[in-house]
Amino acid sequence: MKQIVNILIVLVFYSGFAQVTFVVDKIPKETPKDASIFISGDFEGWTGGQEKYQLKKQDSVYMITLPKISGPIQFKFSQGSWETVECDNKGLTIENRNYVFKEPN
């Protein structure tokens, strides 16, 4: 049975000189308390579930800091597999998220 997880995410980006921190501060209440959240994208080959890309949980907030990558990136969040990738509130696929690393002022 294919399980799809509805991950509603509010992202906050903290930009530094050579990195960005993605903060996920809102996930569905149905998400298991011990769930692991991962970021996957074109920057890592869309492999999904790599330990290196597991977000750290602090209280009810998940976060990960990525080094600067040249050019824009596309990504999604999951619980470690494509069967648990984020989707909309109806369980339907959403577009890839995008981020463009900016040069410091």
Range of the domain at 49: 11-97
Evaluate whether 4 touches 81 at the Cβ level (below 8 Å). Answer: no
Single out the residue of 73, 17, 81 nearest to residue 43, CA to CA: 73
> How many structural domains is the chain composed of?
1
Q: Is 88 contained in some domain? A: yes
Q: How much is the pLDDT for 104?
A: 62
| pLDDT string in tens for the chain (105-residue length) | 344 454 544 544 454 456 889 999 888 888 888 899 999 999 999 998 999 999 999 888 999 999 888 889 999 999 999 999 998 888 899 999 999 887 665
CATH of the domain at 32: 2.60.40.10
Q: Is 3 contained in some domain? A: no
Q: Is 24 contained in some domain? A: yes
- What lies within 8 Å, CB to CB, of 18 at 6+ separation is 67, 68
Q: Is 103 contained in some domain? A: no
Evaluate whether 42 touches 75 at the Cβ level (below 8 Å). Answer: yes
Q: Is 57 contained in some domain? A: yes
Q: Is 83 contained in some domain? A: yes
Single out the residue of 99, 103, 90, 87 nearest to residue 9, CA to CA: 87
